């Protein structure tokens, strides 16, 4: 099973999850972790430690962060450096979240396969609207 954790500064993670619920319905195995203005990195690390548990080949975690180099990214990346069953992707947006949620449900989905798929699909995820 692949668990998806959305983490961000402020309420972005909750907003993304709420929007994805409107579009594809509520999903299992997804939760948000917010880095609030009054928190420090140690407190955030404690929250990750409590949420990211029982890590194994059958219990993997995809962590979707808002920005590279931010406190949520820096703190949670340490988990992925220590364990191949945890992957961290930065630059989360609604299309990436929806794709991750849907693909993670596929029978036989793996963390490696999911991260590779997301990287291929969204390597150029922004564009300029043109006529």
Alpha helices in 1-122 (DSSP H): 12-24, 41-51, 71-82, 94-104, 111-122
pLDDT tens track for 37-95: 999 999 999 999 999 998 999 899 999 999 999 999 999 999 999 999 999 999 999 99
123 — pLDDT class (breaks 50, 70, 90): confident
């Amino acid at each position: 099973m692949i668990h998806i954790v959305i983490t961000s500064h402020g309420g972005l993670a909750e907003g993304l999850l709420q929007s994805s619920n409107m579009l594809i319905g509520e999903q299992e195995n997804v939760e948000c972790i917010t880095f609030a203005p009054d928190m420090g990195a140690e407190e955030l690390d404690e929250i990750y430690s409590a949420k990211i548990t029982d890590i194994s080949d059958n219990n993997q975690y995809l962590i979707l962060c808002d920005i590279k180099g931010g406190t949520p990214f820096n703190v949670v990346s340490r988990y992925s450096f220590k364990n191949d069953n945890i992957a961290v992707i930065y630059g989360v947006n609604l299309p990436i979240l929806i794709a991750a949620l849907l693909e993670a449900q596929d029978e036989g989905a793996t963390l490696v396969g999911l991260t590779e798929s997301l990287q291929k699909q969204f390597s150029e995820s922004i564009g300029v609207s043109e006529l």
